Structure 1
Amino acid sequence: MTQVLLATRNAKKLGELRRILVAEGIAGVQVLGLSDVDEFEEAPETEPTFEGNALAKARDAAAATGLPAIADDSGLAVDALNGMPGVLSARWSGRHGDDVANLELLLGQLGDVPDERRGGGFVCAAALVLPGGEETVVRGDWRGVIVREPRGANGFGYDPVFVPEGGSRTSAELDAAEKDGLSHRGRALRALLPRLRALAEG
Structure 2
Amino acid sequence: MKTVVLATNNAHKVAEIATALNFPGWEFRTLRELGIESDPAEDAETFEGNARIKARAAHEASGGLAALADDSGLEVDALNGAPGVHSARYAGEPCDDAANNAKLLEALANVPDDARTGRFVSTLVFVDEDGTETVARGTVEGRIGHEERGSEGFGYDPLFFPDVFGGERTLAEVGRDEKNAVSHRGNALRELKAKLASHR
Q: Distance in 1 between matches of 2:94 and 2:170?
A: 23
Q: What is the alpha-carbon distance in structure 2 between the residues aligned to residue 177 and residue 89 of structure 1?
A: 24
In structure 2, the partner of 1:175 is 175
**Could you give the per-residue CA deviations for residues 47-79 of structure 1, whole angstroms, max 9, x where no partner exists?**
000000000100000111121000010000000
1:138 is matched with which residue? 136
Cα distance between partner residues in 2 of 1:198 and 1:48: 30
Aligned to 2:37: 40
Aligned CA distance change for structure 1 residues 70 and 133 (closer, same or farther; 3 Å): same
Answer yes or no: is 1:57 the counterpart of 2:54: yes
Q: Distance in 2 between matches of 1:75 and 1:187?
A: 14
Deviations, residues 116-141 of structure 1 (Å, cap 9, x unaligned): 10000000110001232211111111
CA distance in 2, matches of 1:53, 1:76: 15
SS at match of 1:36: coil
* Paired residue total: 197
**What are the within-5 Å matches in structure 2 for residues 43-192 of structure 1?**
43-65=40-62, 66-167=64-165, 168-192=168-192
In structure 2, list runs of 5 or more residues that go unmatched. Answer: none
* 1:63–1:131 Cα contact (<8 Å) kept: no
Q: TM-score, normalised by structure 2?
A: 0.93
Query: SS of the counterpart of 2:109?
Result: coil
Quick one: distance in 2 between partners of 1:90 and 1:140?
A: 18
Say if 2:31 and 2:38, in contact at 8 Å, map to a contact too.
no
Cα distance in structure 1, aligned partners of 2:10 and 2:197: 23
Whole-Å separation in 2 of the counterparts to 1:174 and 1:83: 25
Contact kept? 2:97, 2:154, Cα under 8 Å: yes
Query: Are the counterparts in 2 of residues 21 and 27 from structure 1 also a CA contact under 8 Å?
Result: no
CA-to-aligned-CA distance 1:146-185 (integer Å, 9 cap, x gap): 0001001111100000000042110011100011111101
Q: TM-score, normalised by structure 1?
A: 0.93
What RMSD over aligned residues (CA atoms) do the two structures have, in Å? 1.5
Q: Does 1:27 align with 2:49?
A: no
**Aligned AA for 2:28?**
V
CA distance in 2, matches of 1:134, 1:55: 12
Matched position secondary structure for 1:35: coil
Change over 3 Å in CA distance of 1:195–1:37 after alignment to 2:
farther
Contact 1:20 1:180 survives alignment (8 Å): no
Distance (whole Å) between structure 2 residues aligned to residue 10 and residue 196 of structure 1: 23
Structure 2 residue identity aligned to 1:60? A
Q: Which residue of 1 aligns with 2:6?
A: 6
Shift of 1:198: 6.6
State the 1:190 CA deviation.
1.5
Shift of 1:33: 1.2
